[in-house]
Amino acid sequence: MILVDKGPCKYVRHSSYTGAFVAILGLSLLAHPILSIVVSIITFVAYYFRIKNEEKH
């Protein structure tokens, strides 16, 4: 296994989740600013618990 210590992967463990979160944030900003905050918070919390559960396994 290789440990990445350069670039964005140095700070982000699950780059696909981060990409999805950024995409959802961008798309929701196009829809409505208040809605974007709500959707982003819900998505962040859902990803947080999913990642936490995956790390356990």
Whether pTM exceeds 0.85: no
Specify whether the CB–CB gap between 28 and 40 falls below 8 A: yes
**19 backbone φψ class: left, alpha, beta (φ>0; ψ -120 to 50):** alpha
pLDDT in tens, 14-55: 777 788 878 877 877 787 778 777 877 888 888 888 878 877
